[in-house]
Structure 1
């Protein structure tokens, strides 16, 4: 039987279709099983975000559940200084969470494989990570950096789930202070918009020019609310007036009778004026 052919080189990176480079991940130094990570340079030009610079961001697929942000930072710090690490369930554009909630008020994260965006301090670190040999696995748990799994991990998570009442009160007070501040800013903004766009007696709205660079806001929320109220009143009045078909028919008959009566009065007035007109040659 012919000997098995080597799949990869000994020191060269293994590149798969799609431009991804395969990296080996090993939980511990004495573990025989290896996990595969797939990395490539993040180059989504449609995404214009300073949090993911195109030349310094590494996109990582198939990150196992036991790798937290701290673990991923330590694993890839051997290629250079890591600025930030972002782990998500699915790839997508960067979204700021507004407002930023404490971990005690966030829903529990789903346990599963994730994708990551690793931002390095230098662009050369991305090249170093892509050129890393797949035969040199990245070790997750070491003596200097142990990673707990199984029962030990559950015990640690259970202990970390408890929080002191005074600390929780501080978090709640901080959140409510930020919430009240945002509400006050929103009310002040609406008040200014209402002052700038007020309807006069005839229903005209004065639109003032804003600061340079600001987006035009042709309709404020207050103006839209007033317009909606007027439309609702009109619709309600019409529905009450013509609720029944016979009401609508009688209204039309009365209107036609008034027009005929006015027509007859105009005819009589014209005939009277003609009768009073006399020929006066001198």
Structure 2
């Protein structure tokens, strides 16, 4: 899309409660209906990510489904050079745990309105977008860059969903190589920690001298795991010993109760024999 010739600083933007600026878009030049985007400078103190610089990132709400990352890039390029565009189902941190998966292994994205994070190359891009008037809509589909919708978009989505076996095999091999490499690095790290932190049988940790300029670490992850396992085994043995002690005491109580019962039965038998005068102790 060609850069706009309008001066964004001379128009009056529309700001709503919450600090969001209203930005109008329409699908094509012949369309009379307009859609509203809500933009705001991305300022989150808790998030310290190089992917979303706080002074060059624009937060966008209410992005329609027909706007892809490429379309958003073209729309906002008139305000300045766009470095990256990220579309998500809901706001959240950009940090993702684990390796980055290929599109073949990701779950299908939801077809609905999204939120976006647009990173400009310069701070002036965010300022220009915030100063754009809501009465001047941005055109999504042009002759130079048509955006497909309806049946054409369904056909394109279906074609993109077909995976070529060679490409899939290449992605799988690449992922497995990375997985094996990460496993090997983790094993080497654990081995190195085990060598540096040697623990004897009584739980004492031998502190070894590390590299120059680093502090010695008396505890490592492997040592902590072994100590925790020892405490767990000790607790189990104690519980088992307590169970055996309780069982022994219960057996003694039952034996004493049985002796008392036999003693009472003998007393009753002796009393009966005396009543019948058949008792001859000598």
Q: How far 1:129 sits from its partner (Å)?
A: 0.8
Find the counterpart in structure 2 of residue 278 from structure 1: none
Q: CA deviation at 1:222?
A: 2.4
* 1:102–1:215 Cα change, 3 Å: farther
1:166 equivalenced with 2:176 (yes/no)? no
Are residues 187 and 13 of structure 1, via their aligned partners in 2, closer, same or farther at CA, if it must alter by over 3 Å? same
Q: TM-score, structure 1 length as denominator? A: 0.78
1:68 paired residue number: 68
Give yes or no for contact 1:55–1:123 (8 Å, CA) kept in 2.
Answer: yes
Tell me the secondary structure at the aligned position of residue 158 of structure 2.
helix
| 2:236 corresponds to | 236
96-105 or 106-115: which moved more?
Answer: 96-105
Partner of 1:267: none
How many equivalent pairs are there? 242
**TM-score normalised to structure 2 length:** 0.78
- What are the ranges of 5 or more consecutive residues in structure 2 without an aligned counterpart? 1-9, 253-282
Conservation of the 8 A alpha-carbon contact between 1:84 and 1:119: yes
1:213–1:94 CA distance, 2 compared to 1 (3 A): farther
Match of residue 248 from structure 2: 247
- RMSD across aligned positions (CA): 2.5
1:1-282 equivalences in 2 (<5 Å): 11-96=11-96, 98-208=98-208, 210=210, 219-244=219-244, 245-247=246-248
Cα deviation 1:103-136 (Å, max 9, x = unaligned): 0100011121111111111111111111111111
Partner Cα distance (1:112, 1:214) in 2: 51
**Separation of aligned partners in 2, 1:83 and 1:214:** 38
Q: Distance in 2 between matches of 1:214 and 1:53?
A: 32
Question: Can you give the 5+ residue segments of structure 1 that lack an aligned partner in the other structure?
Answer: 1-9, 252-282
SS at match of 1:85: strand
Q: Structure 1 pair 145/210, CA: closer, same or farther in 2 (3 Å)?
A: farther
CA displacement at 1:217 relative to structure 2: 6.1
* Aligned residues of 1:242 and 1:248 also touching (Cα < 8 A): no
Separation in 1, partners of 2:22, 2:214: 47
Rounded Cα–Cα distance in structure 2 between residues aligned with 1:212 and 1:220: 19
Structure 1 residue 25, shift from structure 2 partner: 0.8
Secondary structure of 1:58 counterpart: strand
